[in-house]
Amino acid sequence: MRQTNFPFIKYTKLWFIISLAIMLVGIGAMVKNQMKYGTFLQYGIDFTGGTLIELKLQDVSKDYSNDLATVINEAVAGEVSQITVTDQNTYIVQGKTLTNEQYDAVKLAIRGKLGSFEEIKYNTIGPKVGDTLKRKALTAITLALVAIVLYLAYAFRKVPKRVSPWRFGICAVVALLHDVLTTTGVFALMGYEVDALFITAILTVIGFSVHDTIVVFDRIRENLKYQGRDESFAQVADLSLNQTLSRSINTTLSTLITLAALYTLGAPSLKTFLFALLFGITIGTYSSIFIASPLLVLWQGKKGVR
């Protein structure tokens, strides 16, 4: 029997309880949002429709965030959902959809009460476009998950006959769903808006996480070829996890260091996107080690595979 360093599979219940707790907190936050705002998540204008304005005022020594919100709301009886101040001393204003006439009234009101300004960006998305983007985002995530199952089933077709290759694919996707749900739940808990960049982050996390899971699964497949007569499938999985652990940690840390630097020093408009990557990649590495392989063992059973 080959020796392993840490018995990951032995603590399967603990790993599952930790994940369940994180998911329940996120689900609770989404339920709270549903009761408070009418939606599980706070969607950005990419999905709900709305207007985004970026402008720069002459006096950069003062914070005009509250003044801008007041002026715009008085000018069009609207609702400003968010104002972000960038490192370039510009203001990114997001709110309800404005017509051209309303936008002209907003510009006139800003000039009259806050002085002249430079318009950097003006973008309006209608509600129908937002609904279309939302459907396409869900479709993209669903297709990615289905493609991963099919690919893994094909890639692991040569495992021992008593281990179904479909189990590798399905367990990997369950781990990915865990990553998506926990990341989404944390966004709901933090009150961050979900926009097109969030979907980009989720797809990136899916790709990173499944890559890590494939490395572990591939090591399991290789170790099954040399499985001892008295070795169980759980022991083979433990050995494989220990052999790939340093690789997973080193890859994740090198990625997180870069993302942390960008989060700290980068533009404020990208902070929620970078936060999604930071948390998603961290939880993705966790699921590759503590969810995907233990789930595969649980499904396969503790008997040896011949």
Rounded CA-CA distance 244/292 in Å is 14
Per-residue pLDDT 10s for the chain (306 aa) are 555 578 899 999 999 999 999 999 999 999 998 888 788 888 877 777 788 888 888 877 788 788 888 888 888 766 676 777 877 788 888 877 777 888 888 888 888 888 888 888 888 777 666 678 778 888 888 888 888 888 888 888 877 656 788 888 899 999 999 999 999 999 999 988 888 889 889 989 999 999 999 999 999 988 888 877 778 889 999 999 999 999 999 999 999 999 999 999 887 778 899 999 999 999 999 999 999 999 999 988 754 444
* Residue keyed to tokens 């990553």: 179
Q: How many residues does the chain have?
A: 306
Structure tokens at 116: 């002249």
Q: Which class is 9-41+129-300 in CATH?
A: mainly alpha
- Residues near 206 by beta carbon (within 8 Å), at least 6 away in sequence: 141, 144, 145, 148, 176, 179, 180, 284
Domain ranges of the chain: 9-41+129-300, 50-125
134 burial type by CB count under 10 A (0-12 exposed, 13-18 middle, 19+ buried):
middle
62 burial type by CB count under 10 A (0-12 exposed, 13-18 middle, 19+ buried):
exposed
Beta strands in the chain (DSSP E): 42-43, 50-57, 80-85, 91-95, 117-125, 193-194
pTM over 0.85: no
What's the farthest any 2 CA atoms get from each other in the chain?
Answer: 84
Judge whether 107 and 100 are in contact, CB under 8 Å.
no
Q: Which class is 50-125 in CATH?
A: alpha beta
